[in-house]
Structure 1
Amino acid sequence: MDSQLLTPVVFIIFNRPDTTKIVFEAIRQAKPQTLLVIADGPRPSHFSDVEKCEATRSIIEGVDWECNILKNYSDINLGCKQRVSSGLDWVFDSFESAIILEDDCLPDPTFFRFCSELLNQYADDERIMVISGNNFQFGRRRTENSYYFSAFTHCWGWATWRRAWQHYDIEMKLWPTVRDNGWLKDILHFKYAISYWEYIFQSVFDDLINSWAYRWLFTCWMQGGLTVIPNINLVSNIGFNNEATHTKRVNHIANIPTERMGFPLLHPQFLIRDTQSDNLTQKNIFRLSILKFIKIKIKKALNSITK
């Protein structure tokens, strides 16, 4: 980008100076006028975290453009759920909208303009809750538009508004009602998808999965919100390794190449969720192993018998 980026950029970091340095360089090229940095503290049982966290935070001192830097650093380890949730609460206490990157999400330079333009385009349209930089269609596209609308809140590089984040419910208070009354059937169209998300949401609700992102997805579903998905991939996750919190095993969605978005953007003429693309995403990204699926079915059967 030739001019300074006016939309605030949020950078979420922890203990990975290697990937943080790469992503920081991409942010540096965009020259955001405001940079908000959220950092978690070292884990008590990981002695190397102290040094790694310090090395990671020192990268932020490399800001060499005119920039308002705001820092929200935790002295203790809060974990993924609490640190990101509280950090984004802090962001949207002060700003109406923001672009958000984690320390392993490497964007194409056009990602920033894509997000900024669409944050303006849909600023007052409460149907849209997320602008994503991710595309998991692997070359398939249904239209020639620059983007489509999805139910999935892909968050490896994304943007949103205060008006959307205000609905975020870290406790997932509505989950028992949704679960017990079968409301997922009204969102999803296939039994395997319902089984998958019942398993994920219950695991998150029980704190078996330390995640803010699944809680955010659930929030958006409860609001009937949609996500803008680019028709090309704009952000690559470069953090698949043993140092990662969730993405330890390299798979088919690791290091997906990015492409440059063309401008001016070609906007869809209608605001309809692309269920064909979502079904492909469900099959390719969100799936259970056959063994786990069978275990879930058995557990459901046993629960129905004991009731």
Structure 2
Amino acid sequence: MQSLAPIALFVYNRPDHTRRTISYLQKNLLAEDSRLFIFSDGAKTEADQIKVNEVRALIKQTDGFKTVKILESAGNQGLANAIISGVSQLVEEYGKVIVFEDDLLSSPFTLRYFNDALQRYANQEKVMHIGAYMYPLAEKSLPQTFFYRAATSWGWATWSRAWKNFNPDINDLISQFSKPQIKAFSIDGTMNFWKQMKEFKSGKNNSWAIRWYASVFLAGGLTLNPSKSLIHNIGHDGSGVHSNKEDIYQVHVARQVVQSFPLELAENEEAYQAIKHFLRNRKGNLLQRVKRFITKKLS
């Protein structure tokens, strides 16, 4: 049997989200053969401490995996630093890692998809990232999985050989982009990835994910993705870091095993166009946008 990748789960102060994330992970086909590492960040404020304690009491009861190891941080690292150090630690020891945050509900076949893909592309330098979330795409003729340029952060996996390319230095990253690359990086201007880069530089966000995508992009890397999402994010209720209250990205999680993987190491043009179409139209027409804006304000 293949050696399964360790699972890193990053938790903070959301006991209900954490409980649901773990319960869905426990129902995964390979859960009982997988090592789970739960990284619990320390409280930022006294008000957060109560919830952090609740989460810590909850994770201590976790079972259903080959092993469960809990790593509690005394101080508050913040999500970005916690993920960067946790991922670095596990890829150094195991050569690969599967990464979850505390607001991701998985399909029973998500761990199988990750492990099969990690094994299949282990020695393909160009494949740098495996994502499990996919937008609700309208295109029905896409293959089960495909390569794409952007790295999604809602459930993902990578290898130590790829993570070596991670560059946390935003100034160094930004300096390497040409105008055409900026356009390509932002999916022809349909997604605010470049804005996220500039906002990180100016201290308006603390995203590890945008720097990881930039690192993959500049290295000419590819990301593997499913055409039907294997993850549903429940964090868009205003409770998380960088999370707004919205329903644009809601999906029905795929209920079947992923059996088909691309042979050609190149971005799938049909998938790229389908994603671009979704991103361009995701906020709807003017009336739908106004309605969403009013709903957000009232809530």
TM range (shorter): 0.7 to 0.9
Residue 238 (1) aligns with residue 234 (2): yes
Residue 31 (1) aligns with residue 25 (2): no
Residue 159 (1) aligns with residue 157 (2): yes
Could you tell me which residue of structure 2 aligns to residue 50 of structure 1? 49
Residue 200 (1) aligns with residue 201 (2): no
Q: Hey, what's the Cα distance between the residues in 1 that align with 2:245 and 2:144?
A: 31
Q: Hey, what's the Cα distance between the residues in 2 that align with 1:156 and 1:80?
A: 13
Q: In structure 1, the residue corresponding to 2:36 is in which secondary structure?
A: strand
5+ residue gaps, structure 2, are 284-299
Q: In structure 1, the residue corresponding to 2:189 is in which secondary structure?
A: helix
TM, length-normalised to structure 1: 0.82
Deviation of 1:190 after TM superposition, in Å, equals 6.9
Counterpart of 2:129 in structure 1: which amino acid? V
Task: Say if 1:188 and 1:13 are closer, same or farther in 2 by CA, change over 3 A.
Answer: closer
Two-structure CA RMSD over aligned residues (Å): 2.7
Task: Say if 1:18 and 1:94 are closer, same or farther in 2 by CA, change over 3 A.
Answer: same
Could you tell me which residue of structure 2 aligns to residue 260 of structure 1? 255
Q: Does the 8 Å contact 2:149/2:223 carry over to 1?
A: yes
Task: Say if 1:66 and 1:103 are closer, same or farther in 2 by CA, change over 3 A.
Answer: closer
Q: Does the 8 Å contact 2:8/2:36 carry over to 1?
A: yes
Identical aligned residues as a percent? 23
Q: Hey, what's the Cα distance between the residues in 2 that align with 1:243 and 1:193?
A: 26
Q: Does the 8 Å contact 2:9/2:37 carry over to 1?
A: yes
Matches within 5 A, 1:1-150: 6-29=4-27, 30-44=31-45, 47-65=46-64, 67-143=66-142, 145-150=143-148
TM, length-normalised to structure 2: 0.84
Deviation of 1:56 after TM superposition, in Å, equals 0.9
Task: Say if 1:188 and 1:64 are closer, same or farther in 2 by CA, change over 3 A.
Answer: closer
Task: Say if 1:56 and 1:220 are closer, same or farther in 2 by CA, change over 3 A.
Answer: same
Counterpart of 1:60 in structure 2: which amino acid? I
Could you tell me which residue of structure 2 aligns to residue 217 of structure 1? 213
Q: Hey, what's the Cα distance between the residues in 2 that align with 1:124 and 1:4?
A: 15
5+ residue gaps, structure 1, are 290-307
Could you tell me which residue of structure 2 aligns to residue 249 of structure 1? 245
Deviation of 1:173 after TM superposition, in Å, equals 4.4
Could you tell me which residue of structure 1 aligns to residue 223 of structure 2? 227
Q: Does the 8 Å contact 2:151/2:213 carry over to 1?
A: yes
Q: In structure 2, the residue corresponding to 1:210 is in which secondary structure?
A: coil
Deviation of 1:161 after TM superposition, in Å, equals 0.8
Q: In structure 2, the residue corresponding to 1:174 is in which secondary structure?
A: helix
Task: Say if 1:280 and 1:205 are closer, same or farther in 2 by CA, change over 3 A.
Answer: farther
Counterpart of 2:89 in structure 1: which amino acid? W
Deviation of 1:63 after TM superposition, in Å, equals 2.8
Q: Which string of whole-angstrom CA distances, capped at 9 and with x for unpartnered residues, describes residues 173-211 of structure 1?
A: 4334224x43525735876359x4332211122322111
